[in-house]
Amino acid sequence: MFTAGQSIDSSIMHRKQGTFSYRKNSPQTKDLDNNLRIKTEKMTNDVARVYFVDNQGIPTPPPANVVCTCLSTGEVIQSAVINGAVSFIILWMYSYEIK
C-alpha cells in the first residue's frame, strides 16, 4: 500500500490513498488539493521516485513537515533532489506512507 497525504489539510491524509504499479512506464499522478499533486515515476524495474508538482506539472517543494516512512521497516526515507525535484526514492518490495 502507498499512502499519500499532506500537512496543509490533515483530512487529505486519510482520503488520498492508493497504489503504484512499478510495471507502468508512464508517471502516475494523484491530486491532493487545488494546486498540489503527488507524482510517482518509475526509475528502474525495482525503483521509483515520489515528488510533488503543481497543476502545470512543475516540480514544487513538499509541504512543510512532510515525511516519507517505510512501513515495513519504520525507517524515515530521506529526500534527494533529482532532476530539480525534491524526491523520495522507493523500492518495489516495501510499503510506504507519506504524510
pLDDT band at 10 (very low <50, low <70, confident <90, very high): very low
* pLDDT single digits (tens) 12-45: 334 455 666 666 777 888 888 888 999 999 899 8
The pLDDT assigned to 32 comes to 82
- Establish how many alpha carbons lie within 13 A of residue 57's alpha carbon, considering only the half-sphere containing its beta carbon: 5
50 neighbors 88 (Cβ within 8 angstroms): yes
